[in-house]
Structure 1
Amino acid sequence: MYKPLDDATIKEIETIVGTENVLMDREKMEDYSHDEYALDTFKTYPEIVVKPGTTSEIARIVQIANQRHFAVVARGGATGLCGGSVPIFNGVVVSLERMNRILEIDTENLMVTAEAGLTLRDFYAALKERRLFFPPHPGEESATLGGIIATNAGGARAVKYGTVRSFVRGIEAVLADSSVIEAGGKLIKDSTGYSMLHLLTGSEGTLGIITRAVISVMPKPEMTTTIIIPYETLGMALSSVTPILCGGIQPLAIEFISKKIIKISEDYLGKSWPVKPGEVYLMVILEGDEAFLAKTSEKLAEICLERGAIDIFVAQAQEKQDEILHLRSMVYEALKANTIEILDITLPRTEMEPHIATIDGISKEYGVWLPTYGHAGDGNLHTHIMKIAPDGTCIADWQKIYPVVRRQIHEDAFKRKGKISGEHGIGLIKKEYIEQSIGSPMLNAMRRIKKALDPNNILNPGKIFDM
């Protein structure tokens, strides 16, 4: 299907980017053969890894790929959980790691122009110096700007601010024919023809390679407060979410997690969760000035205590808030050793509790632990399908149980008008359910778009759906 790279092609690419920016040694390419998906199932080595320094270099590589028909996979921080940056047809991995500069911070228009290889860690640090704020926080700060745009990443703060798509104002991208387009710009409004900006956002590198972006930012909130609310049952915890949101409170985040899951993170990090009572916790983050936070915290406490909350724990010191958020954000790493797959199902908020009840039933039926936590404010759940039983013992035949359990969980989500991904993207591991999730007409429309923009199917082939 795809042609292997010959020596002449490799030398031509070396001429474009410099020999020092081309990797061919298998050991050095190991990091580029996988992402953060829990298993090694999709681990595949590229023929070469290329580290371009400019958009024009990427365009020239894509032009050669189109002429000689080899696959090109763009790679950011490879923090994805779905095999989205794995080069399953070998070919060339184009790593954006050298294209990591902030080109402009426009404090008057509240816009930042940056290259796609910029890490979130560096982006947040630069904004902090200027008391600016980029609300989306997918969790892993080694993720890159291009990567979170390509997957339309979300995170805990989506309940108030939406996903990354809400902040992308401009994109520069190399298309499959090697043309370079600039969509959008430092604009709040743009109704000029089709929105290539939104089409490329969430396209997972299958329609173009994002090389730079214009991102809207905002002034940094004066303060934040993190509140942990313990409950005896999940139903009590989730029953508080709608009254919070409908009661005039606009939290930065509303998360839920069980005591059993947070204990795994405690043990993994050697740190302690600050609240001991309860079996399930809501974690609510508020932002604003001191008077607003005091008034809103009081109103929040009233709502939650009326619905069975055991107590209210308020963390105001930034160090304590950071500690709480770190324990929550490291849950995936703490569970990873025994995880087969982490799901990313998104549902109407009112369907979360019955869906989790179904998951609990599946867990009991098959004797597999299915820890579930997530973003209570936006209905995005993360269920881990584990290799172990609820009591921690290993499941000998987990390979047989896994597809059955996975199918039943997804079918319940579809019954509840849910989708298979809220923020992780589809990549490789979720494409099996793409048609069932979005329907044949939508899938066929996507295929026609892909065919029109990438007729030779060279850009990240085999991801999202098969052609």
Structure 2
Amino acid sequence: MPEYHQLTPELVSQLAEIVGVDNCLTGEDIAEDYAHDEMPIYGTRMPEAVCLPATTEEVAAIMKLCYENSIPVTVRGAGTGLVGGSTPLYGGVVLCTMRMDKILAYDMDNLNVRVQPGVRLCDLAADALDHDLMYPPDPGEKTGSLGGNVSTNAGGMRAVKYGTTRDYVLAMTVVLPTGEIQHIGRAVTKTSSGYSLLHLMIGSEGTLGVICELTLKLVPNPREDMSFILPFENIESAIESVPKIKLAGLNPQSIEFMERDIVDTSAEATGNHVFPTEVNGCEAGAYILVTLDGNDEDEIFMRAERLAEIADGQGAFDTLVVQDPSQKESVWAARSSFLTVIESDTDLIDEMDVVVPVNVIADFLKYVHEVGEQNGTRIRSFGHAGDGNLHIYCCANDADQDEFLQQSAKVMEAAYAKCAELGGQISGEHGIGHAKKDYLRASLGETPINLMAGIKAVFDPKCILNPGKICS
């Protein structure tokens, strides 16, 4: 790594001039949250200063000053990441974009919206609905910032139909590590105009530039949607139904899976017993949750009849319709609570969000559970069955952290190796950060990692921007 310099009182004073004294935090004024993301088990490090800019010009001035003085800068949004991506490993400055939180303008003719990076996903989703539009990306953490979503190419539950965040970014304004402001992409739906700098920036986790404005694609809001719970005897039979559902032309908005274990824990913690444990005299061991959307209720019911036929043929105990708005809200509140529930009843957590081909989900889950049992590690899992993105957690209570991390590492190494063998990828939506760097290298090999490092060097010759992440 390059040699970095520490902030001097003079440099801190200059940063305060840029953003205002109240928005330049040092010493005891820096909250401990700025030392890590939502997974502090991956390490913490207090920055020397936290800057909260309100404009692109302020971001540019911060980056120019830090670049000229070799000060490392870690970009941070809402801090909801799960791979240590916003941990300031080398101290320096944390540049937090959450004051840049304005929805700037809608273009109703071209179905897009301009926003600042600190706008939270839940706020844009609600505001778009007021315009009878939908912003389709739907990651589980609704309070995450849009800048963070774009930086990790967040996916979510609607990806099976609508795609990931990458598919909705048309243009952005970024500040390069040198402080230069660049406008990349255009508010058009097609391009064949050289290398895509836009798509290099998406998913780069704050290592290539600081996102300061986004132009995002919107779609007309579907008039109707219905969800359906399919209870199965076990996870294998549940997952086997997914390819059949996808091949039936039902065009589902989402296809989620969950095992009985996490459903029971969620119900106990929240009091929300919306997923039935016994159906038609049979004990459910796993569930598929499907949502269909469209502009006509009758048309959705026609597709639902086909869904019920498939479910029955695959051994589902029933196809339970979730149509009432309050019931639908309860079902999706339960699904959204899974990670929070795991965190609340677990002292130590390590996580992976691998993505594998849909037809090997059950095989992969079975393998990981076996490896966890062999290593004395409890495994909890749920995820996006429609696109093969699995959220798998190594969990422990009343354990020594170092010992837990050693056991978890054994599970992770075996799981990631199996993932690669099955044609999968290390991360479907959470990113790499610094927690998954070694697994990425082992999965891809040296040449792809060196190519990424070469791209990083072109954008950031001094490696001051979010150092220690992905490939640096």
TM tier, smaller: over 0.9
| Cα-to-partner distance string for 1:189-209 (whole Å, 9 max, x where unaligned) | 122221111000000000000
Aligned equivalent of 2:158: 157
Separation in 1 of the partners of 2:362 and 2:80?
Answer: 29
2:197 pairs with 1:190: no
Coordinate RMSD, CA, aligned: 1.4
The corresponding residue for 2:330 is: 323
Residues 261-300 of structure 1 correspond to what in structure 2 (within 5 A)?
A: 261-277=262-278, 278-288=284-294, 289-300=296-307
Contact 1:234 1:280 in 2 (8 A): yes
Percentage of matched positions with identical amino acids: 36
Counterpart in 1 of 2:12? Answer: 10
User: Is contact 2:42-2:435 (8 Å) kept?
Assistant: no
What is the correspondence of 1:35-54 to structure 2 with a 5 Å cutoff? 35-37=37-39, 39-54=40-55
Stretch of structure 1 that moved more, 272-281 or 240-249: 272-281
Q: 1:374 aligns with which of 383, 389, 406?
A: 383
1:411 aligns with 2:449: no
The residue that corresponds to 1:114 in the other structure is 115
Compared with structure 1, are the counterparts of its residues 349 and 408 closer, same or farther at alpha carbon in structure 2 (3 Å cutoff)?
same
Q: State the match for 2:179 in structure 1.
A: 178
Among 428, 439, 451, the residue aligned to 2:434? 428
Give deviations 1:415-462, integer Å, cap 9, x for gaps: 111111000000011011111222222111111000111000010000
Question: Could you list the per-position Cα deviations for residues 256-283 of structure 1 after superposition, in whole angstroms to 9, with x for gaps in the alignment?
Answer: 1011111111122222124222110000
Q: 1:91 to 1:252 in 2, by over 3 A?
A: same
In structure 2, C-alpha distance between the alignment counterparts of 1:443 and 1:41, rounded to whole Å: 21
Cα distance in 2, alignment partners of residues 118 and 41 from structure 1:
26
Which runs of structure 2 are paired with 1:439-458 in the superposition (5 Å)?
Answer: 439-458=445-464
TM-score, reference length from structure 2: 0.95
Query: Aligned AA for 1:152?
Result: N
> Whole-Å Cα distance in 1 between the matches of residues 260 and 368 of structure 2?
17
Out of 301, 314, 325, the residue aligned to residue 308 of structure 2 is 301
| 1:220-264 Cα deviation digits (max 9, x unpaired) | 110111110000011211111111111111111101101111111
Look up the equivalent residue of 1:331 and give its one-letter code: F
- 2:218 corresponding residue in structure 1: 217
Shift, 1:394, TM fit: 5.8
* Aligned-residue offset at 1:326: 1.1
Q: Secondary structure of 2:43's match?
A: coil
Between the aligned partners of 1:90 and 1:401, the Cα distance in structure 2 is 29
1:27 Cα offset (Å): 5.1
Deviations 1:328-350 (A, max 9, x none): 11111111234421111111111
Q: Using the alignment, how far apart are the partners of 2:421 and 2:126 within structure 1?
A: 43
Does the aligned pair in 1 maintain the 2:350–2:408 contact within 8 Å? Answer: no
Q: Tell me if 1:98 matches 2:105.
A: no
Q: Is the 2:30–2:50 contact (alpha carbons within 8 Å) kept by the matching residues of 1?
A: no
TM-score normalised by structure 1 residue count:
0.96
Q: Which amino acid aligns with 2:390?
A: L
Q: Which amino acid aligns with 1:112?
A: V
Determine the C-alpha separation between the residues in 2 that align with 1:346 and 1:253: 16
CA distance in 2, matches of 1:462, 1:55: 25
Name 1:207's counterpart in structure 2.
208
**Could you tell me which of 318, 333, 337 is aligned with 1:311?**
318
Can you give the 5+ residue segments of structure 2 that lack an aligned partner in the other structure? 279-283
Instruction: Give the SS at the match of 1:66.
Output: helix
Q: Which whole-Å CA distance do the structure 1 matches of 2:168 and 2:448 have between them? A: 25
Question: Structure 2 CA distance, aligned partners of 1:458 and 1:435?
Answer: 21
Residue identity in the other structure for 2:316: A
Distance 2:164 2:11 in 1: 39
Distance change >3 Å, CA 44–CA 155, structure 1 → 2: same
Deviation at 1:367, TM superposition (A): 2.8
| 1:31 corresponding residue in structure 2 | 33
Return the alpha-carbon distance in structure 1 between the equivalents of residues 285 and 105 of structure 2: 47
Amino acid at match of 1:143: G
Structure 1, unmatched stretches of 5+, are none
Residues 59 and 395 of structure 1: is their aligned pair in 2 closer, same or farther, counting only changes over 3 Å? closer
Contact 1:355 1:412 in 2 (8 A): yes
Say which SS state the counterpart of residue 451 (structure 1) adopts. helix
C-alpha distance 274-351 of structure 1, shift in aligned 2 (>3 A):
closer
Choose from 384, 387, 390 the match for 2:393. Answer: 384
Cα distance, 1:317 vs. partner? Answer: 1.6
CA pair 15-395 structure 1, distance change in 2 beyond 3 A: closer
Aligned pair count reads 461
In structure 1, the residue corresponding to 2:61 is in which secondary structure? helix
Structure 1 residue 350 and structure 2 residue 352: aligned?
Answer: no
Rounded Cα–Cα distance in structure 1 between residues aligned with 2:122 and 2:365 = 33
Over residues 362-404 of structure 1, what are the superposed CA-to-partner deviations in whole Å (9 max), with x where a residue is unaligned?
A: 133223211121111101111101115xxxx868943432221
1:359 counterpart residue number: 368
What is the distance in 2 between the residues matched to 1:274 and 1:350?
Answer: 25
1:26 and 1:45 in contact (8 A); partners too: no
Q: CA deviation at 1:291?
A: 1.1
